[in-house]
Amino acid sequence: MSAASVSSSIVNANENSNNRTDDSDKNKMSSVKKKRDVNTNSGNDTIIKVKSVIPRRRQELLKWWGWGYKDSKFEVVDQAARFTGDRYLIGGKTLPHFAPWVVQNLNIDLSKLPKTTPLPTSYPDSRLPSNVREELEKIALVSVDGMDRLIRAHGQTLSDMAQLRSNSFPRIPDAVIWPECHEDVVKIVALATRHQFVIIPFGGGTSVSGSITCPAREPRPIVALDTSEMNSILWIDRDQLLARVQTGIVGQDLEREMRARGLTVGHEPDSYEFSTLGGWVATRASGMKKNTYGNIEDLIVQTKTVTPTGVLEKSCRVPRISCGPEWEHVVMGSEGCFGVVTEVTIKVRPLPPVTRYGSLVFPAWERGVAFEREVAEKRLQPSSIRLMDNDQFRFGLALKFESSWGGVILDGLKHLYITRIKGFDPAKLCVVTLLFEGEAEEVTEREKTINAIAAKYGGVPAGATNGERGYTFTFVIAYIRDLALDYSVVAESFETSVPWDRALALCAAVKRRVRAECERRGVRHYHISCRLTQTYDAGCCIYFYFGFNSSSFKDPVAMYEKIEEAARDEIIDCGGSISHHHGVGKLRKKWYKDTVSEPGRRLLLAAKQTLDPDNIFALGNMAFGEDQHEEAIVKSKL
């Protein structure tokens, strides 16, 4: 659909995209329609059927064995690193500084052949009974193909990747189903209750909490419910600046469609090329531009969730309500454990006339943090404002390509100016990247104000190009881990939120703890760095990158997890949180109860018992045990 065809202010669609509508469906549709007449605009019935960048057979475009596009990866040829493909700024470029950096920091022997991941030759048999499969096939497309199932058995944790590379998942889904609409999901969930199989909703597969990993001991068949065919935009209301969207839509698809119409959702988590709207809701996602567009809880007006005991949905799409506890905030963060979020009404904004990048260099981390704090205190944050520490800055420099690429930040001249003339210590300086959006005048004004505040803390502007590179670097850095694993480096990022007064102490303590843990365990070559990615009135989000050369260790993943656990303990002791936006899943269950208190844990179990008493959505996240299903069965027999 071209932009021209949506020139009317309302692009409305009440029609169901599912062409398998039977009579009972029609009745349901007409009642839905009646309700929607109240809750949405009337208008023409034109669904926007979005053609996703990512095909239904994801493995045709995406790596089955790692992150992102097949054609885009870091590789080492003759001990020189390069990035393949032409999708990203560094695509097709040689990275002369990369090899020296990894040798020095991680003691990698790049002359060794990388470990490649062999295509699996066998997969676990599907346990889905054929009669159930036949019933499912009446609702939507089903696959029991091994690779289709394998690539939906995991998210993107280190453990996921290690098991994927060794084809050693104890359990993978027994089938994949692709519903096309809310009504399909209702039928699938009803079938799951009848035949007692487990459903795991699968969106973009970018979870980093283990939330979609199949519980190993689940005795029932597991069906991965892939939301990717539920990716239509049901209506756009340009006057109300709202859109009703199916939740399987991928971030980049949603944004592309909106931009073609002069609009933007503006929600850009680091994963947004691949992650989905439904995934954002389920994990309580945060986007890089949250200062302008808000986090997911600020964007969502209404959600619709299919649970085994009914459809949870507020009846009106009002901007704010006082109607007792707000169940939307239970759906947001539900991590797939209560049901499937099928549709969402989300805010959109007009595309900003001006987008401008910026960057600033500070003499030291503490100064950078104090600058970020003042900007937040005055509520002057531009769309994005992020601060890298010195180690992360230097890691970024290692990705500098040939002469034209300034790494993350700082081309030669500026580097000279800052280090020689301003006297910044290259081993201490840190870097802020900025993204301004808005009217031209407003952007110019804001940039001036920000620069003035920066000056108070010794900050020096370092140019728009460096800012843009730093910002887009986010998308490329996710590709590095696959190369790391090829050379026995285990690596992952982890994040937290923390009150402002604890931020510096937390960063220092976590780094100290990671170093101490490494020392204690004989880890000699490692990288630990951090950045401050989001700021608020009362605190900020801190991201840590940690990786080490594990070639001499027997179980590198377990060792990594032990160190990360120690780091998280340290975070909690310092007043930080279990997670700012990655969620709990299975990886952070240890800290769930203490975070929400015992009554909070019991509220979670009560919500589960209410919405999903048979534990159809048996993901085992947060406070739910793998044995929950068995316990429930035992209890029901008493």
Q: Strand 354-362 relative to strand 460-461: parallel, antiparallel, unpaired? A: antiparallel
- State the nearest-atom distance from the C-beta of 249 to its own copies, in Å: 20
In this chain, which of 420, 610, 631, 633 binds its own copies, going by CB under 8 A? 610
Interaction of residue 329 with its own copies, rule CB under 8 A:
yes
In this chain, which of 351, 595, 614, 632 binds its own copies, going by CB under 8 A? 595
- State the nearest-atom distance from the C-beta of 397 to its own copies, in Å: 31
Interaction of residue 492 with its own copies, rule CB under 8 A:
no
- What interhelical angle do 158-165 and 556-573 show, nearest 10? 170
Is the CB of 66 or the CB of 339 nearer to its own copies?
Answer: 339
In this chain, which of 92, 262, 310, 412 binds its own copies, going by CB under 8 A? 310
Residue 168, CA atoms < 13 Å, CB-side half-sphere: 8
Q: Which of 503, 569, 587 is nearest to 538 (CA)?
A: 503
Beta-carbon count within 10 A of 79 CB = 12
Q: Which residues, numbered 226-255, are part of the site for its own copies (CB under 8 A)?
A: 237, 239-242
Contacts of 127-136 spanning 24+ positions with Cβ under 8 A: 127/174, 127/221, 127/222, 128/174, 128/175, 128/197, 128/221, 128/223, 129/195, 129/221, 132/191, 132/195, 132/197, 132/221, 133/175, 135/191, 135/195, 136/175, 136/177, 136/188, 136/191, 136/223
Interaction of residue 580 with its own copies, rule CB under 8 A:
yes
How many angstroms from the chain centroid is the CA of residue 382?
A: 22
Q: Does 272 participate in catalysis according to the annotation?
A: no
In this chain, which of 52, 307, 390, 550 binds its own copies, going by CB under 8 A? 307
Interaction of residue 575 with its own copies, rule CB under 8 A:
yes
Report CA-CA distances (Å) from 169 to 120, 383, 624.
Answer: 12, 40, 20
Positive or negative, the CA dihedral 248, 251, 255, 257 is negative
Interaction of residue 287 with its own copies, rule CB under 8 A:
no
- State the nearest-atom distance from the C-beta of 627 to its own copies, in Å: 19
- State the nearest-atom distance from the C-beta of 138 to its own copies, in Å: 26
440 vs 354: CA distance, rounded Å: 6
Question: Cβ contacts of residue 243 below 8 Å, gap of 6+?
Answer: 233, 234, 235, 236, 237, 258, 263, 265, 345, 346, 348
Interaction of residue 444 with its own copies, rule CB under 8 A:
no
- State the nearest-atom distance from the C-beta of 462 to its own copies, in Å: 28
In this structure, what token pair is assigned to residue 316? Answer: 């009106």
Specify which residues 492 forms β-bridges with: 546
In this structure, what token pair is assigned to residue 602? Answer: 């019991």
- State the nearest-atom distance from the C-beta of 441 to its own copies, in Å: 11
Question: Cβ contacts of residue 587 below 8 Å, gap of 6+?
Answer: 157, 159, 208, 209, 210
In this chain, which of 221, 514, 622, 629 binds its own copies, going by CB under 8 A? 622
Interaction of residue 198 with its own copies, rule CB under 8 A:
no
- Indicate the SS3 state at residue 424: coil
Active-site hit among 543, 545, 560, 592: 543
In this chain, which of 16, 105, 286, 549 binds its own copies, going by CB under 8 A? 286
In this structure, what token pair is assigned to residue 395? Answer: 């890691």
Interaction of residue 598 with its own copies, rule CB under 8 A:
yes
Kindly write out the interface string for residues 447-486 of this chain, putting x where it contacts its own copies by CB under 8 A and - elsewhere: ----------------------------------------
- What interhelical angle do 390-397 and 98-106 show, nearest 10? 140
123 vs 125: CA distance, rounded Å: 6
- State the nearest-atom distance from the C-beta of 311 to its own copies, in Å: 7
- Do 606 and 598 touch, CB atoms closer than 8 A? no
Q: Which residues, numbered 13-42, are part of the site for its own copies (CB under 8 A)?
A: 38-39, 41
AA identity, residue 226: D
In this chain, which of 318, 416, 440, 633 binds its own copies, going by CB under 8 A? 318
263 vs 290: CA distance, rounded Å: 16
Is the CB of 310 or the CB of 412 nearer to its own copies?
Answer: 310
- State the nearest-atom distance from the C-beta of 284 to its own copies, in Å: 4
Kindly write out the interface string for residues 331-370 of this chain, putting x where it contacts its own copies by CB under 8 A and - elsewhere: xxxxx-----------x-----------------------
In this chain, which of 210, 269, 556, 583 binds its own copies, going by CB under 8 A? 583
Q: Which residue has the tokens 């590095």?
A: 480
Is the CB of 408 or the CB of 542 nearer to its own copies?
Answer: 542
- State the nearest-atom distance from the C-beta of 37 to its own copies, in Å: 9
Interaction of residue 446 with its own copies, rule CB under 8 A:
no
Q: Which residues, numbered 496-535, are part of the site for its own copies (CB under 8 A)?
A: 496-501, 534
Report CA-CA distances (Å) from 217 to 105, 199, 572.
Answer: 40, 15, 30
Is the CB of 142 or the CB of 619 nearer to its own copies?
Answer: 619
In this structure, what token pair is assigned to residue 546? Answer: 């940690």
Is the CB of 190 or the CB of 241 nearer to its own copies?
Answer: 241
In this chain, which of 61, 89, 144, 330 binds its own copies, going by CB under 8 A? 330
Is the CB of 251 or the CB of 583 nearer to its own copies?
Answer: 583
Is the CB of 326 or the CB of 630 nearer to its own copies?
Answer: 326
Residues in binding contact with its own copies, number by CB under 8 A:
91
Q: Which residue has the tokens 């690596």?
A: 491
Interaction of residue 145 with its own copies, rule CB under 8 A:
no
247 vs 158: CA distance, rounded Å: 26
- State the nearest-atom distance from the C-beta of 614 to its own copies, in Å: 15
In this chain, which of 450, 557, 604, 618 binds its own copies, going by CB under 8 A? 604
Catalytic residues: 543
